[in-house]
Structure 1
Amino acid sequence: MTTPPANLIVVGASAGGVEALRDFVGGLPADLSAAVLVVLHLPRRGPSALASILRRVGTVPVDAAENGEPLVAGRVYTAVPDHHLLVADGRILLSNGPTENGHRPGIDALFRSAAVSWGPRVAGVVLSGTLDDGTAGLTVIRARGGLTAVQDPEDANYPSMPENALAAMDVDLVLPAEKLGRALVEQLRTRTVATPAPVSQLDALEARIDAGERNSTEEVKTMMPASGLICPDCGGPLFTAEPDRRFRCRIGHAWTAEALLLEEHLEVERALWSALRLVQEKRELADRMHAAALDRGQDLLAETYAERGAEHSHTAEVLRRLLGPRSA
């Protein structure tokens, strides 16, 4: 006989997350009365071995999430590739909603969904990872009266995600990953659950977008001010969800400022590499035409091609300096 969970624990991890998740799941007590949902940033294509990896540690059963599956106490559910892992009416919802920071599954999407549906009966956990994924969702969990926990940055292989969460708010627990699970469960058992704060209109809208409700994206432009920035995913205008912190486009793609800055840096780098390739081809073509003109005795034309080749060589050198040592 299955038992519905008394509480919900949602966990997010990225780079270095497999090791952190092994420690966290291994530390969960056997008599766990909560359900645990886990998002690790995954490649969009191909199977995930995360459930089988975590199944080997600890005593709590672990399964890959299935759409529509009812949540059961004492079980861990892992996200699957190319789907947001969400909750609705005590069941799992796998959504193909817009990406967040280029990811699907997204950590913030899970955290936001749990906070909206479960209010103060949620505990959010941010583990090892780069950038600031999880911070926005953990903020919503805290606003709804849920517990917040972060892996001690000194214990994380990649401390950026824990550090960003700690910089944004006061969290309830900061511990090594192997100690977080048991400590969190103990707090869930003994705490007094307060009346949840109302769900903000913005959080409700974003939760609907994460769930794939396409008509909800039209509300973005009416509820969020224009940012003057462009979405790297679709090229559409971005609107401000949180000033200088988070953005969404009309399609629904979500970006934090830190992730957006990195993506734009990568776009510039890709453009520079493309420019370097084209300039090198132009220099090689000018060299060939210079040689051909010399063979025909066309010295003035050969000199023109030589000058063009020198110009292209100079441009290529400038681009290499911009790209750094890897282009040498």
Structure 2
Amino acid sequence: MTENIPKIIVIGTSAGGMQALTTLLSRLPEKLPASILIVQHLSPDSSATFLVDRLNKHTRLVCKVAEHGLGFEPGTVYFSPADMHLLVSGNKMLVVKGPRENQFRPSIDPLFRSAAAYHGGNAAGIILTGFMSDGVIGMECIKRSGGITIVQHPDDAEFPALPENVLRKVDLDYVVPLSEMSTLLEELMQRPAQQSLTIPADIRQEALIAERVMSNSTQTSIEDLEKAGTRTAYSCPDCGGGLWELSQEGTIKRFRCHSGHAFSQDSLLLGMSNSLEETLWVALRTLEERRNILLNMFQDETIKGNHRWANMQEERVEEMKVHIERLRELLSKSSAADGEHIGELG
């Protein structure tokens, strides 16, 4: 491997990821001439240290929790902490809170995009088992930057939807089961490192925007977004701000707001659905509270003998009951539709 030009492997996974990672890492050699950085979707209260300790029991590679500002070394695995994004900037890691991407933190896309922007053809991206579509845009960035793209064969994945989504959207280099992936990686990492890298301008630009926003906790300037894309009529489901569709040479649409939230088209649709459902539940609660107040008014007027006013409140109670039943029916249908959509996205 050429000196000062490190090779980097970035891995993204979701549901079923720990078992897949354990299997893959257990078969890789101790002297693998590349650094491995991993993002797995985790709940905010998960312990990355516990998971890293588990990985260390099954591999000859050294596994660590990624730390902000440190460099990465060959033969070492770096695991993103819970509720923190993991990116690369040159030959160092950034471990930052930052806005969610695709409604996840950590998110796969920021890691893959930064690896593509800084390492181009010396980066390899791997997507393993999981749900949803986080990682699709990042994988396309690696492909367009000359890197290697690998996905676990959907038939081999415990949860095939994420590999299937990547396979559907990106022209991948390799689609293999875990049993073949370690041998493939060993062969690929023995190839000479690329001396000259040509990174698409839009990928480098967006990586710099995300790095600045996530590292400095500052909003993206409107000017930056105007240069990077076109403002849409959509609102960010996370913060309510305006969304820009970013210009790109690739085929996958992506959106970003000035607060830093970013979405693929699929994750934006799902985010909007979740936001709408939350609004409907608030409306339902408000209607039920209003119905209870009207019911109390009806009972009070009945006790007082004000039958005319009591009848008016009773009519309003029945009218409110109809609205509540309609809203409950709408929520039931919305939840069923979202479940089907999640199944499609994985």
Q: Same fold (TM over 0.5)?
A: yes
| Structure 2 match to 1:63 | 64
Q: CA deviation at 1:179?
A: 3.2
Whether the 8 Å CA contact 2:5–2:195 is kept in 1: the answer is no
Cα distance in structure 1, aligned partners of 2:81 and 2:183? 25
Stretches of structure 1 that go unaligned for 5 or more consecutive residues are none
| Structure 2 match to 1:286 | 294
Aligned equivalent of 1:311, options 295, 316, 319:
319
Aligned equivalent of 1:269, options 252, 264, 277:
277
2:284 is matched by which residue type in structure 1?
L
Of the structure 1 ranges 162-171 and 240-249, higher mean CA displacement relative to structure 2 is found in 240-249
| Structure 2 match to 1:207 | 207
| Structure 1 match to 2:340 | none
Q: CA 1:112/1:318 → structure 2, altered by over 3 Å: closer, same or farther? A: same
| Structure 2 match to 1:172 | 173
Output one character per residue of 1:110-140: Cα deviation in whole Å (capped at 9) or x when no partner: 1111111111111100112222111111111
Cα distance in structure 2, aligned partners of 1:256 and 1:89? 25
Give the 5 Å matches for 1:126-275: 126-190=127-191, 198-213=198-213, 214=218, 217=221, 218-241=223-246, 245-275=253-283
| Structure 2 match to 1:23 | 23
Whether the 8 Å CA contact 2:121–2:147 is kept in 1: the answer is yes
Cα distance in structure 1, aligned partners of 2:205 and 2:235? 21
Q: How many residues are matched?
A: 324
Of the structure 1 ranges 256-265 and 154-163, higher mean CA displacement relative to structure 2 is found in 154-163
Matched, 1:299 2:307: yes
Whether the 8 Å CA contact 1:97–1:212 is kept in 2: the answer is no
Tell me, what secondary structure is at the counterpart of 2:171?
A: coil
2:101 is matched by which residue type in structure 1?
E
Of the structure 1 ranges 137-146 and 240-249, higher mean CA displacement relative to structure 2 is found in 240-249
Whether the 8 Å CA contact 2:220–2:258 is kept in 1: the answer is no
Tell me, what secondary structure is at the counterpart of 1:324?
A: helix
Cα distance in structure 1, aligned partners of 2:188 and 2:268? 36
| Structure 2 match to 1:121 | 122
Tell me, what secondary structure is at the counterpart of 1:248?
A: strand
Whether the 8 Å CA contact 2:84–2:97 is kept in 1: the answer is yes
Q: CA deviation at 1:264?
A: 0.9
Q: CA 1:263/1:302 → structure 2, altered by over 3 Å: closer, same or farther? A: same
Whether the 8 Å CA contact 1:132–1:165 is kept in 2: the answer is yes
Q: CA deviation at 1:46?
A: 5.7
Q: CA deviation at 1:326?
A: 11
Identity percentage over the alignment? 35
| Structure 1 match to 2:10 | 10
Whether the 8 Å CA contact 2:84–2:105 is kept in 1: the answer is yes
Q: CA deviation at 1:21?
A: 1.8
Structure 1 segments, 4+ long, off by >6 Å, are none
Whether the 8 Å CA contact 2:238–2:271 is kept in 1: the answer is no
Whether the 8 Å CA contact 1:98–1:209 is kept in 2: the answer is no
Cα distance in structure 1, aligned partners of 2:185 and 2:103? 30
Tell me, what secondary structure is at the counterpart of 1:136?
A: helix
Of the structure 1 ranges 312-321 and 96-105, higher mean CA displacement relative to structure 2 is found in 96-105
Cα RMSD for the two superposed structures? 2.4
Cα distance in structure 2, aligned partners of 1:169 and 1:326? 30
Cα distance in structure 2, aligned partners of 1:179 and 1:239? 40
Tell me, what secondary structure is at the counterpart of 1:212?
A: helix
| Structure 1 match to 2:35 | 35
Of the structure 1 ranges 28-37 and 311-320, higher mean CA displacement relative to structure 2 is found in 28-37
| Structure 1 match to 2:329 | 321
Output one character per residue of 1:117-167: Cα deviation in whole Å (capped at 9) or x when no partner: 111111100112222111111111111211100011122232222111111
Q: CA 1:309/1:66 → structure 2, altered by over 3 Å: closer, same or farther? A: same
Q: CA deviation at 1:83?
A: 2.7
Tell me, what secondary structure is at the counterpart of 2:206?
A: helix
Q: CA deviation at 1:43?
A: 3.1
Cα distance in structure 1, aligned partners of 2:55 and 2:14? 15
Whether the 8 Å CA contact 1:4–1:73 is kept in 2: the answer is no
Cα distance in structure 2, aligned partners of 1:41 and 1:96? 14
1:133 is matched by which residue type in structure 2?
D
Tell me, what secondary structure is at the counterpart of 1:51?
A: helix
Q: CA 1:50/1:157 → structure 2, altered by over 3 Å: closer, same or farther? A: same
Stretches of structure 2 that go unaligned for 5 or more consecutive residues are 336-346
Whether the 8 Å CA contact 1:113–1:207 is kept in 2: the answer is yes
Tell me, what secondary structure is at the counterpart of 1:211?
A: helix
Cα distance in structure 2, aligned partners of 1:216 and 1:275? 33
Output one character per residue of 1:58-112: Cα deviation in whole Å (capped at 9) or x when no partner: 2211000112222111110001133321222322222344321122322111111
